Amino acid sequence: FLHPQRNQWSPPPLSKVLDLPPENLIKSISAVPVSKKRHVADFQLSIASIIENSSSDCSAQDLHLQAQQLAERLKCDSVVSEISAGPGMVNFTINRELLAKTVLQQVWKDGSEYGVKSELFSTVPRQKAVIEFSSPNIAKKFHIGHLRSTIVGNFIANLKVALGHEVVRINYLGDWGMQFGLLGVGFQSFGNKEKLKSSPLQHLFEVYVQINKAAEDENTKKLAKDFFRKLEEHDEQTLSIWKQFRDLSIEEYIRIYKRLGVHFDEYSGESFYQGKAQEVLKMLEDKGLLQKTIKGTGVVDLSEKKDLSTFSTVMRSDGTSLYITRQVSQSVDLAAAIDRMNKHSWDTMIYVTDKSQNNHFQHLFQILKLMGYDWAERCQHVSFGLVQGMKTRRGEVIFLEDVLNEVRSRMLQNMTSTKTTREIQDPVETAEKVGLAALIIQDFRGLLSSDYQFSWDRALQSRGDTGVFLQYTHARLHSLEQMHGNAELTDVNVACLQEPNAISVLQHLLRYDEVLYRSSQDLQPKHIVSYLLTLSHLAAIAHKTLPVKGSAPDVAQARLCLFHAARSVLANGMKLLGITPVTQM
């Protein structure tokens, strides 16, 4: 049958009847979503998608008529047991035993690559992607926005790697700017070397808070300016203090990222591009793109009529590039983009930040284009909304580690109240992995660009659409396999998998590649989240109604194979989202 991942179904005469090459039909045929209320077919062919220029020419009635006419011309065979017409669709039901056999064999054979080897991806070129994500500011709060950037960027990187692309993960740190003048002066007054070594982020944050109270004092301002000027002039002693702040912070970040299951190929930062930013300003000037305002700042005119109605500021009035905050660090970001292209020769570059920076990136890409860099069109900004209401029991969240500790302790408390936890080998680590799944699923359920209200109670529910439920389902299916021995596919009697609840799981497994394809197109994790939650609910119903224990040996073996396939796909999807599946809970 003609469909991604299903290239071993023998085709009915569909391409002949339509007089279309088989590859033209791949994206027109899709697996039908499982319905709890009624029996559904396995595949549907969209009439609109195979009629060229159909969008405006055909009414719903025409499409329905054409679907009926096509359904009448097609014949059932050993593969397709039923053909019917629906609204603008032709529905196909596959021979039930063939469906079970083929799906189970495919999941078994492809393992972690199930869905990825689909024909849907056959025309997608393998590319090199640079992904910039997380990007906290050294010595400032690692706030919850950075958590979102970290888990979203990690998901995109995981997905790209799974689909065979080469990925460079870059953490672009806020490690330069006037705040380091303040911090240097603050450390001289309030700093403690022992505290700096034992918990750098916490200590630098405390120092920053203290010195900020005095930031309006003229003397403090002067000292901070002097410290930062020395830093810009590469004064050895000043640079070594700054370097210590940076290195110790990165060490601590790496430890925290490890808890999140996240790694980076490169730790870069604004400090790397100070000299290069000056070169970019010179390039802008040479190309006639840099204009001076009355105040002396340097701007690039981005308006269509060239009347400065839209512009981007790239230079301070004292002639230096801007790096006060990311919103105005255009020349530094321009230098970084150009440098990355020279260094990595990427096909696509993705920036993952919150949506308040939409303008910044729009301007950045526009300026690159004006500078003659055509590859600016292959730059992409994936933006996300804000998380509201994330508090720990002690109050406001300051550091990411507070969130991780909180979710672990709450999860451990929930697990302790259930009778099975005593048998878990490492309850603390399990609580951490389950807790992280809870955070990720709550975050990824909606559109990334939406703001959402965080709720501990909702995130940590063991029933319902939560990360805890996904982990629970995975652990349960794993223990089923442990209890009854690993399933063997060689001699499975697929005639034993004809119950509606077994068919529902098989039909759902058919759709996995389409869901991956959709997420790969719009980089939204919600498609995969929704798919895995449905898979878990269907597997839970099947687990309840199709017992392995006490069934005849061939029935038990067939059901074990079904549950193994469901667990395998569930684990694959969870790993893409950045979740480590647990085997006990």
What is the average pLDDT across 482-495? 83
pLDDT(418) > 90: no
Tell me if 185 sits within 8 A of 227, measured CB to CB: yes
What token pair was written down for 9?
A: 């179904």
Provide the sign of the torsion angle of the four alpha carbons 459, 463, 465, 468, taken in this order. Answer: positive
What is the average pLDDT across 88-98? 92
Quote the pLDDT of residue 321. 54
pLDDT(55) > 80: no
pLDDT(252) > 70: yes
Tell me if 378 sits within 8 A of 348, measured CB to CB: yes
Among 51-60, 491-500, 557-566, which is the least confidently predicted range?
51-60
- Reading phi first (left if > 0) and then psi (alpha if -120 to 50, else beta), residue 465 is in beta
- Considering only residues 21 and 474, tell me which one the structure prediction assigns the higher pLDDT: 474
What is the average pLDDT across 203-214? 89
pLDDT(206) > 70: yes
Quote the pLDDT of residue 141. 65
Provide the sign of the torsion angle of the four alpha carbons 141, 144, 148, 154, taken in this order. Answer: positive
Count CB-CB contacts under 10 A for residue 261.
16
Quote the pLDDT of residue 52. 61
- Considering only residues 109 and 324, tell me which one the structure prediction assigns the higher pLDDT: 109
E strand residue ranges, 209-354:
266-269, 290-292, 298-301, 311-315, 348-354
Mean of all residue pLDDT scores within the chain:
88
Which burial class, exposed, middle or buried, applies to 492 when counting CB atoms under 10 A from its CB (0-12, 13-18, 19+)?
buried
Angle at 539 between CA 533 and CA 543, to 5 degrees: 145
- What is the set of active-site residues? 140, 143, 146
* 164-175 pLDDT per residue, tens: 999 999 999 989
Tell me if 21 sits within 8 A of 15, measured CB to CB: yes
Quote the pLDDT of residue 585. 85
What is the average pLDDT across 80-86? 92
Q: What single-letter DSSP state applies at residue 451?
A: -
Stretch (H or E) spanning 239: helix 236-260
Quote the pLDDT of residue 223. 94
Quote the pLDDT of residue 416. 83
* pLDDT level of residue 558 (50, 70, 90 thresholds): very high
Which burial class, exposed, middle or buried, applies to 446 when counting CB atoms under 10 A from its CB (0-12, 13-18, 19+)?
middle
pLDDT(425) > 90: no
* pLDDT level of residue 503 (50, 70, 90 thresholds): very high
Residue that has been written with the tokens 């590649």 in this structure? 513
Percent of the chain with pLDDT over 90: 62
* pLDDT level of residue 315 (50, 70, 90 thresholds): confident
- Considering only residues 389 and 3, tell me which one the structure prediction assigns the higher pLDDT: 389
| Best CA proximity match to 152, nearest among 390, 383, 333 | 383
* 505-549 pLDDT per residue, tens: 999 999 999 999 999 999 999 999 999 999 999 999 999 999 999
Write the CA distances from 116 to 2, 70, 111, 156, 157, integer angstroms: 17, 31, 10, 15, 15
Residues 6+ apart with CB under 8 A from 379: 337, 348, 349, 350, 351, 361, 364, 365, 368
Quote the pLDDT of residue 325. 41
Mean pLDDT highest for which of 18-22, 195-199, 380-384?
Answer: 380-384
Quote the pLDDT of residue 387. 86
What is the average pLDDT across 383-400? 76
Model pTM score: 0.92
Quote the pLDDT of residue 10. 38
Quote the pLDDT of residue 13. 66
* 278-303 pLDDT per residue, tens: 899 899 999 999 998 888 888 999 99
| Best CA proximity match to 350, nearest among 190, 498, 534, 152 | 152
| Best CA proximity match to 98, nearest among 10, 4, 5, 2 | 10
pLDDT(78) > 90: no
Quote the pLDDT of residue 397. 61
Tell me if 382 sits within 8 A of 352, measured CB to CB: yes
Residues 6+ apart with CB under 8 A from 476: 543, 585
What is the average pLDDT across 321-339? 70
| Best CA proximity match to 525, nearest among 357, 359, 389, 384 | 384
What token pair was written down for 40?
A: 């559904």
Main-chain phi, psi angles of 4, to 5 degrees: -50, 145
Quote the pLDDT of residue 389. 76
Quote the pLDDT of residue 421. 53
pLDDT(476) > 90: yes
Stretch (H or E) spanning 91: strand 89-94
- Cα end-to-end span (Å), the chain: 40
Among 29-38, 229-238, 266-275, which is the least confidently predicted range?
29-38
Write the CA distances from 449 to 132, 189, 384, 479, integer angstroms: 17, 42, 4, 38
What token pair was written down for 4?
A: 């991604």
Percent of the chain with pLDDT over 70: 91
Q: Three-state SS for 88?
A: coil
pLDDT(122) > 50: yes
Angle at 240 between CA 237 and CA 242, to 5 degrees: 115
pLDDT(395) > 60: yes
As a whole number of Å, the CA-based R_g of the chain is 28
Write the CA distances from 416 to 199, 421, 423, 482, integer angstroms: 30, 6, 11, 23
